[in-house]
Structure 1
């Protein structure tokens, strides 16, 4: 049975200065996210050869945990403040494929 609620978000940034400011905003926001009990994974990546792109991978315990994350003051601030740094945002909500999941305590590669 699939568990959790996951999404990816791809942010394209205006320029290198905007990227630095966006990264600082993310770092400040992460402090609050670390205290959210239903936020299981919140990781930011920069794709190889795309220095002005950030890809977030977010995994929540369930849809309610995601909604609780969206309602936090630090998240609301991030959602508003990020806009000045961006040229585009793409969000993809994900379905878990149980056969590919590895749970803690399981054996195998």
Structure 2
């Protein structure tokens, strides 16, 4: 079954939000090319809150998430993100069912 998380980041200001997006974009390049177990990794803007970013991440399983966390591009993102942030909150998710999810027989 899939394993996911949602992370809400609050940047210090508009310049920090832009720099954070650039840092996240650099990490995403590695995620796209080097992480087959990372099924979804999306950085969302919140229209009413311009300094807020919400990441939605879905992995094939917990092991794929742990492999993701060990990647150099992710370790760099984790090490550098704090300089741009006021706060962040992580919510881990265990999949039950859904359309297009790893638990959906039609998605296999």
Please say whether Structure 1 and Structure 2 have the same fold, judged by a TM-score greater than 0.5: yes
Equivalences, count: 102
- Corresponding residue for 2:99? 102
Residue 102 of structure 1, CA deviation: 1.2
- Listed as ranges, the matches of 1:41-56 within 5 Å are 41-56=40-55
Q: Identify unmatched segments of 5+ residues in structure 2.
A: none
Q: Which has the larger radius of gyration?
A: 1
Determine the C-alpha separation between the residues in 2 that align with 1:71 and 1:48. Answer: 32
RMSD: 1.3
- Listed as ranges, the matches of 1:62-101 within 5 Å are 62-98=61-97, 101=98
Structure 2 length-normalised TM:
0.89
Structure 1 length-normalised TM:
0.88
Query: Does residue 14 of the first structure (1) align with residue 12 of the second (2)?
Result: yes
Runs of 4+ that moved beyond 4 A: none
Which has the larger strand fraction?
2
Query: Residue 37 of structure 1 aligns to a residue in which SS?
Result: coil
